[in-house]
Amino acid sequence: MKNLFKSLFFPAPKPQASASGGSGRPKAREEAGAEFYSDFGGLWIDRRDALAVLDRKAAEDPDVAVLRPQIEQFIRDGYVVLEQAVSHELIDAYTAELQRHIASGISPLQVSVPVQGPQDKSVVSLADADVKAPLSKILDTYACMPSALPMVFNEAVHKFLRAVFEEEVLAFQGLHFERGSTQAIHQDTAYVVADRPLEICASWLALEDIQPGSGELIYYVGSHHALADWKYSGRFKHYNHERDPHAEHMGHLNSLVERSEAQGLELAHFLPKKGDVLIWSADLAHGGSQILNPDVTRRSLVTHFSPQSATPNYFRYLPKDKQVYRTYQPGCHTATMYY
């Protein structure tokens, strides 16, 4: 198993980003005078004139022109659904490989499990985890399982993210769920941290048909741009349990629901078919609904992405030899803090 892991990729220096968005001009997110919904900036789709930028990009780039309806929805609603983006064959191969890891008793995979306390989670080995417990997440399966990579970087998701990021794509966190997370409505920017906090997107792949009452994903449509920044300790986009009071954290979570409801934003439930992928924007307010039927699973794979020129915050806490980017295929890179 360890030799297999080592052979998955060859570590490489951080890939170099291109200097422009492909048309010879600076990336649209970097243009002088650009105004964003957030004080922390963002991707070009987070600009206040994003629809006008989309017009320009679609006229210049045929790949963007093809994706125009999906990108327009993403700008407006903060998410897009790519139906049947991943084949059932790929999903079945991944599921079988994961079951072999579980059965082996010696898998290198690690799992985030809930605990009591301000940090509210701990990381244990797969052999020591109850992966069927709510809030349990198998971490970065793409780093240990070859079958995860073609799903994470499936063609539809990769093309969409390439257009949104204006450069190559980095997958830097993965979460496999067997059951609903039951996680409170939150914004990823509070916990999934990169040096450019708004330049993040996530994908949610259904590994099976998702049933009502399974703790399905929920989200407030349009909340990514409708809600003003919550600034921890008056200046930070992300939450730090050592720096920020617990009451402030709870205030943020409660305010997401209160402000979304006050603005009349729709609370949508995601009930996809196996192979469907939902991509959401960094600040979309989302969470896991309550599990009403404990007999059903909610198998899913979440991946957090950024432009490859961004740096995951966890690199600050890793030794130099662990701060590596691994290339799966041209334009597709991964990083992990666990393996």
Residue 78 class from Cβ within 10 Å (0-12 exposed, 13-18 middle, 19+ buried)?
Answer: buried
Which pLDDT tens digit goes with each residue over 20-72?
444 445 688 899 999 999 999 999 999 999 999 999 999 999 999 999 999 99
Give residue 190's identity as a one-letter amino acid code.
A
Q: What is the mean pLDDT of residues 259-283?
A: 98
Helix, coil or strand: residue 27: coil
Q: What would the pLDDT profile of 114-149 be if each residue is shown by its tens digit?
A: 887 666 789 999 999 999 988 899 999 999 999 999
- Give pLDDT, residue 14: 60
Structure tokens given for 109:
């995979």
Distance CA 286, CA 256 (A): 9
Question: Beta 169-177 vs 300-307: how paired, if at all?
Answer: antiparallel
What is the phi/psi pair of residue 225, to 5°? -115, -15
**Residue 230: how many other CB atoms lie within 10 Å:** 20
Q: Which token pair is 36?
A: 């964003």
| Average of per-residue pLDDT values in the chain | 92
What integer pLDDT is reported at residue 118 of this predicted model?
Answer: 62
Give pTM, 2 decimals. Answer: 0.92
Q: What letter does residue 74 receive in the DSSP assignment? A: H
Q: What proportion of the chain, given as a percentage, has pLDDT over 70?
A: 91
DSSP state of 210: P
DSSP 8-state assignment for residue 314: G
Nearest in space to 285 (alpha carbons), one of 169, 175, 202, 165: 202
Q: Which residue has the tokens 């327009």?
A: 72
Please give the span between the terminal C-alpha atoms of the chain, in angstroms, as a whole number: 13
CA–CA gap between residue 85 and residue 91 (Å, rounded): 11
Residue 235 has pLDDT above 70, yes or no: yes
Length of the chain: 339
Residue 5's pLDDT band, with cuts at 50, 70 and 90, is: very low
pLDDT at 8: 44
- B/e letters for 115-137, b = 16+ CB within 10 Å, e = fewer, are eeeeeeeeeeebeebebeebbbb
The arithmetic mean of pLDDT across residues 201-219, rounded, is: 97
Task: Choose between 187 and 22: higher pLDDT.
Answer: 187
Give me the mean pLDDT over the 83-91 stretch: 98
Query: Is the pLDDT confidence value at 9 over 50?
Result: no
Q: Residue range 208-216: average pLDDT?
A: 97
Mean pLDDT, residues 320-330 taken together: 95
Give residue 222's pLDDT: 98
Confidence of residue 263 (pLDDT cuts 50, 70, 90): very high
The reported pLDDT for the residue numbered 134 is 85
- Residue 64 Cα distances to 53, 72, 306, angstroms: 11, 11, 18
